[in-house]
Amino acid sequence: MPVEETVVDYLNENYKRFSGLARAIWEHPEVGLEETFASKTIADELEQAGFSVEHGVGQMETAFVASWGEGTPIIGILGEYDALPSLSQDATPERHELVSGGPGHGCGHNLYGVGALGAALAMQLAMKEQGITGTVRYYGCPAEETLTGKTYMARAGVFDDLDASVTWHPGYANTATTNGSSLAMYSFKVHYHGIASHGAAAPHMGRSALDGAMLMDIGVNYLREHIIQDARIHSVIKDGGEAPNVVPPTATIWYFVRAPKREEVESIYQRMLDCAKGAALMTGTTYDVEFLTGCSDMLPNPTISNIMLDKMEALGGIEFSHDDMDFARRLQSTIDPEIVEMGRRQTLAGAREGTTAADIGDVLCENVIRPTNEFRTMHGSTEVGDVSQITPTSMLTTCCHPLGSPGHSWQITASSGAEIGFKGMDYAAKAMALTGLELMVNKDALDAAKQDFLRDTGGRKYVTPLPEGATPKRGG
């Protein structure tokens, strides 16, 4: 039986099984580094299939690496499974929290992790039937939403011996990026320490830690005018005191800083530390910096991405039912029409010349969309970027929610627990498995992917953004 037939038949026969696993993880949403149910669910499936599983990778209880096979090439498949806070939602087209204020899969990582599982098991079966030598490796990556998991796993060296890796993410367009990237990012907190006193009777005896944090942020706001336009800085005050009549002795401000290249993030970060020092001098306070995590920009791999696109086109796209379309239209009706239209424009802008609105669909995308030749950087960040700086890596997306669904929204939570999401997941699993197998058996393709990687890295070795002694932290 041809490899393609083995993969497709296996995943078709196990569609309900994998949909059930994705639904079970959806019903047990867990935020980063707390994904005990999701991690165990996926790892158990791999262990039962004969994979050897190493738990607790990178100082994280919910991170694991599962391997099957022997020798080279070693092809990695990345999986994620963390949820987001405050996005609890039933799989309905109307807003309905299942748990008030609870977490939910508003980024579809329940699909992400199980889709990658399906791909790994399909590869294993095809390798057995065809006598294909090599190793398939599943990476259970926690805490992507806080950009923690893969960064700490990369520091532990678990990706170092890979020949290539493939992954995916739920999205709208069925596509793969041949020449795009994501933003590098640093996440850090600045803790200010002052002196408490009565805010009215003895303010002169106090030193406000909150003033330090707020003055730092004023400095950072002025700094924005003098950094590259593509950079982003966001912040929240995590601790600002308990009562207005007490001069706050402690305060914490938490920053994300992003830019297209990691060296640009590093430069901005150093200037922000100067703002922190200046604010402490102005307020008579002290401070310390807690570096939480960071991630690198994504290196696209045109060779692997083009293989993905070819495999997706050979599969023939996704076929959604009338009920799927009806569900999606009702869900889409809850989204501001301007946001839906913006999603349409962005999807078309990312597609190759000649792609029409009819090609991408008005509510769900059923066709494969070839990407534009123009280099594009998405405004978000992912620590898949760190893996891509270590080994040739590419990511595909498949349609798992309606056009215009905002990222990290209850609409995506609803889609991720519904048939729309499961069909997109199944399609991704097939495309990833076929891509991974192509890299296993086609030495020329794998060599070309490695040449892409060598050209873009210039032979430099990956260096972790994490300072010595940094440890993974729950909830940032």
The domain in which residue 326 lies consists of: 3-182+297-457
Q: Is the pLDDT of residue 476 over 80?
A: no
Q: What is the pLDDT of residue 66?
A: 98
Q: Is the pLDDT of residue 324 over 80?
A: yes
Q: Classify residue 476: in a domain, yes or no.
A: no
Q: Classify residue 441: in a domain, yes or no.
A: yes
Q: Does 176 lie in the same domain as 279? A: no
Q: Does 214 lie in the same domain as 159? A: no
Q: What is the pLDDT of residue 179?
A: 87
Of 295, 316, 338, which closes a domain? 295
Mean predicted confidence (pLDDT) in 22-27: 98
Q: Does 192 lie in the same domain as 46? A: no
Q: Does 308 lie in the same domain as 238? A: no
Domain with residue 212: its CATH number is 3.30.70.360
Q: Classify residue 423: in a domain, yes or no.
A: yes
Tokens of 6: 């083995």
Question: What are the pLDDT digits (tens) for 289-319?
Answer: 999 999 999 999 999 999 999 999 999 999 9
Q: Does 336 lie in the same domain as 230? A: no
Which one-letter amino acid corresponds to residue 361? G
Of 295, 318, 333, which closes a domain? 295
Distances in Å between the Cα of 311 and the Cα atoms of 4, 238, 391, 396, 435 are: 9, 46, 21, 11, 7
Nearest to 254 by CA among 318, 184, 347, 189: 189
Q: Considering only 134-138, 216-220, 242-246, 270-274, which range has the smallest mean pLDDT?
A: 242-246
Q: Classify residue 465: in a domain, yes or no.
A: no
Q: Classify residue 466: in a domain, yes or no.
A: no
Q: Does 342 lie in the same domain as 288? A: no
Q: Classify residue 464: in a domain, yes or no.
A: no
Question: What are the pLDDT digits (tens) for 374-416?
Answer: 888 888 899 999 999 999 999 999 999 999 999 999 999 999 9
Q: Does 190 lie in the same domain as 107? A: no
Q: What is the pLDDT of residue 272?
A: 98
CA 204, distance to chain mean position in Å, is 48
Q: Does 332 lie in the same domain as 246? A: no
Q: Does 377 lie in the same domain as 266? A: no
Q: Classify residue 463: in a domain, yes or no.
A: no
Mean predicted confidence (pLDDT) in 34-51: 98
Domain with residue 305: its CATH number is 3.40.630.10
Half-sphere CA count of 85, side-chain side, radius 13 A: 8
Q: What is the pLDDT of residue 113?
A: 98
Q: Does 420 lie in the same domain as 322? A: yes
Q: Classify residue 116: in a domain, yes or no.
A: yes
Q: Does 30 lie in the same domain as 43? A: yes
Tokens of 308: 């993905």
Of 247, 275, 295, which closes a domain? 295
* Domains in the chain, number: 2
Mean predicted confidence (pLDDT) in 198-213: 94
